[in-house]
Amino acid sequence: MVATGAVALAGCSDPTDATQNATTSTSATRSTAPPTTRVPAAPQLPGLWVATSAGIVDESGQRYASPAEGSNEVLRSLVDDGAGGVFYLRCPEGAASDCAVEHAHEPNGEPVELGRAEELLAVGTWGERPVLAVTAIEPTSEATSKPGDEAGGETGGGDPATQAPAQAPPRAVGHLLDPETGELVGTFDWYDAQRGPIALDLAAGTIVACVGEGERCEIGSSSDPATLPNAIDGIEPDLTVSSMVLDAEGSVLAWIQLEPMDGSVVAVHRDLRTGQAVSDELRTSDEALAEDAVTDGVWSAVRVGETVYLKELLDGTGAGTRTVPPTTTEIALRGSGASSGLASRL
């Protein structure tokens, strides 16, 4: 891989407590200094996964994956594994669906191939088992051509018994993979020719997805991956969602929605039990357009050019920026495991 620009942290340091308790004594008296007030440390900024034309690096510039030498492969669809590594797709140039699912565990290591997919959706749990949810492309059963479609032409006359079967187009289907072995452990087969999940997560027996066509989708939930998620009351039905995460208890959903017409970016948290919702405005319509916007439920990351704006959500005080290479094509938040605490923060 050719060298990429290092990902640098814009100044953010933890304050230190410079005061100490002091106690003095004499034979006659004992005096104690008043208790000190501890200033809480500023939240540490989360890490990043950064995909560039030269491969995948973390926020410090360590390389985790790169295209094969001499190839025009594209590495995309980044999903943090929660344990210091990253899942991603390795795609031939120009190929949207014939991509290898790979897992990079460590910098400069050898990635593990887990299967083939068109999109990576989420790392979650199902039946207390970790799973990697992906969109895969499967061939469909052969469809027999109608009499007259072959030698007889449109007017008929061909012998149906001698006509070759027509190959039906492949179709999209959701797969749940074991994230270590790539074993297929479940499916969700409610895609159709136009609609599928644009964003998805699953935990604690709940699957939540924004299902739609193109950029717009509707958020729904289901207790069975095989069942099309039902729309959730109180959520607008026509959204552009770039990122979605469900907390470990399956009770709080966070997502980022974009408004392509004016460029605004908003993070939303919703308690699926009570319907309570809280919004954080991340970009306004008069600011430069965001190229990426992702969340882990506690932090958001919005990329504009070479700058990633990080913000702690739900009234958090953390904020800062990181700089990414000019050839960046995609980002993801790295390794905070933060979404597990969503329920207690809403």
Tell me, what's the pLDDT at 309?
97
Helix (H) or strand (E) holding 343: helix 342-345
Domains and CATH numbers, the chain: 43-141+167-345 (2.120.10.30)
Among the ranges given (9-18, 30-39, 134-143), the one the predictor scored with the smallest mean pLDDT: 9-18
Residue 204, phi then psi, degrees to nearest 5: 50, 40
Query: Coil, strand or helix: which one is 340?
Result: helix
Distance CA 85, CA 47 (A): 12
Query: Coil, strand or helix: which one is 161?
Result: helix
Tell me, what's the pLDDT at 42?
58
Q: How confident is the model at residue 179 (pLDDT cuts 50, 70, 90)?
A: very high
Helix (H) or strand (E) holding 342: helix 342-345
Question: Under 8 Å CB-to-CB from 135, ≥6 apart: which residues?
Answer: 117, 118, 119, 121, 172, 173, 174, 175, 191, 196, 197
Tell me, what's the pLDDT at 97?
76
Beta bridge partners of 183: none
Does position 159 have pLDDT exceeding 50, yes or no? Answer: yes
pTM of the model: 0.79
Identify whether the C-beta of residue 70 lies closer than 8 Å to the C-beta of residue 30: no
The dihedral built from the CA positions of residue 6, 180, 133 and 214, taken in this order, carries a sign that is: positive
DSSP codes joined into one string, 299-328: EEEEEETTEEEEEE-TT---EEEEE--TTE
**What's the whole-number average pLDDT of the chain?**
82
